[in-house]
């Protein structure tokens, strides 16, 4: 994988000019920003300066093919070699909350996709020249190298593993599932009770919190033609009684899970139910994600 380095904003002016020039040559505008002044719903929930101590925020902007993109990069300047936190969907607010908590505690870098170029807090990026809005988690394709390079540059410089954070609608589409078809109908396939040829669930046996919720789970990807046990961290999570879905990948669907697997990148995705913006509900979804991440990092990185 070819990736180019991004900028840690707490650098000397000469270095900043060098980095900015390199990014400009690649068509990526990189601008240090004050998180307390960003007009964005995620940042607006965090206006206490103490929350940003030791963190540096950069806005990255670029155009590729039909889409204009804006990302926020949040780097822990005191602990830069932690995980790579990825929040692709701007409407999944607890994902941002968990990423911010994670980068403070464990270090590393957050990349959050901002759909606010046209309207804030949307799942898809509508800043397009033509056609339909773009799902940021289906844009990791060979024809769009700038997108993947801009997002994943830090991984090549020791910021790993990739921790993707999502929330989704409760339940699952029973018509698309090969199991538990008598369940109340829901949407999509994010549930430990959903299964098909691609998604193969391994439910928690104890159902202890946070896995008392069937929509709180980890996704790990494995290459078709091998064993599910080859999925990065999959065996450890299953042994630790997580809700784990093993995703079989033959051809990439454009998601980061598929892209990462096919390029040998360490990746795991954590999901929980979308509970809304009420502070208590938002905190519950965040806390479930944080609990899964904290435990998984101990298992996957430290044995």
- pLDDT for 22 equals 46
Which residues in the chain show pLDDT less than 50? 1-22
Chain centroid offset of residue 262 CA: 17
- pLDDT for 1 equals 44
In angstroms, the Cα distances linking 283 to 84, 113, 255 are 22, 21, 27
- pLDDT for 78 equals 96
CB 189 within 8 A of CB 200: no
- pLDDT for 13 equals 39
**Closest of 167, 30, 154, 138 to residue 84, by C-alpha:** 154
- pLDDT for 25 equals 58
Rounded to two decimals, the pTM is: 0.91
- pLDDT for 9 equals 37
- pLDDT for 260 equals 97
**Cα–Cα–Cα angle for 89, 136, 201, nearest 5°?**
70
- pLDDT for 5 equals 34
């Amino acid at each position: 994988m070819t990736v180019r380095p991004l900028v840690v904003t707490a650098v000397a002016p000469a270095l900043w000019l060098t980095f900015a020039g390199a990014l400009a040559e690649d068509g990526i505008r990189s601008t240090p920003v004050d998180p307390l002044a960003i007009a964005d719903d995620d940042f607006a929930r965090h206006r206490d300066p103490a929350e940003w101590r030791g963190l540096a925020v950069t806005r990255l902007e670029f155009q590729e093919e039909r889409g204009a993109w804006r990302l926020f990069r949040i780097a822990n300047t005191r602990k830069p070699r932690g995980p790579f936190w990825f929040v692709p969907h701007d409407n999944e607010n607890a994902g941002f909350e968990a990423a911010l908590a994670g980068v403070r505690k464990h270090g590393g870098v957050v990349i959050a996709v901002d759909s606010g170029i046209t309207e804030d807090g949307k799942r898809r990026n509508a800043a397009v020249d033509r056609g339909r809005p773009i799902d940021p988690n289906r844009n990791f394709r060979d024809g769009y190298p700038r997108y993947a390079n801009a997002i994943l540059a830090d991984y090549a410089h020791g910021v790993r593993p990739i921790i993707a954070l999502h929330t989704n609608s409760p339940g699952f589409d029973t018509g698309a599932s090969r199991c538990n078809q008598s369940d109340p109908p829901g949407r999509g396939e994010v549930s430990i009770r959903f299964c098909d040829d691609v998604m193969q669930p391994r439910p928690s046996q104890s159902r202890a919190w946070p896995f008392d919720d069937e929509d709180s789970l980890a996704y790990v990807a494995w290459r078709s033609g091998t064993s599910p046990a080859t999925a990065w961290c999959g065996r450890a999570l299953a042994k630790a009684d997580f809700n784990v879905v093993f995703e079989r990948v033959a051809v990439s669907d454009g998601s980061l899970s598929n892209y990462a697997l096919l390029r040998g990148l360490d990746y795991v995705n954590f999901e929980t139910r979308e509970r809304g913006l009420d502070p208590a509900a938002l905190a519950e979804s965040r806390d479930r994600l944080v609990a899964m991440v904290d435990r998984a990092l101990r298992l996957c990185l430290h044995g």
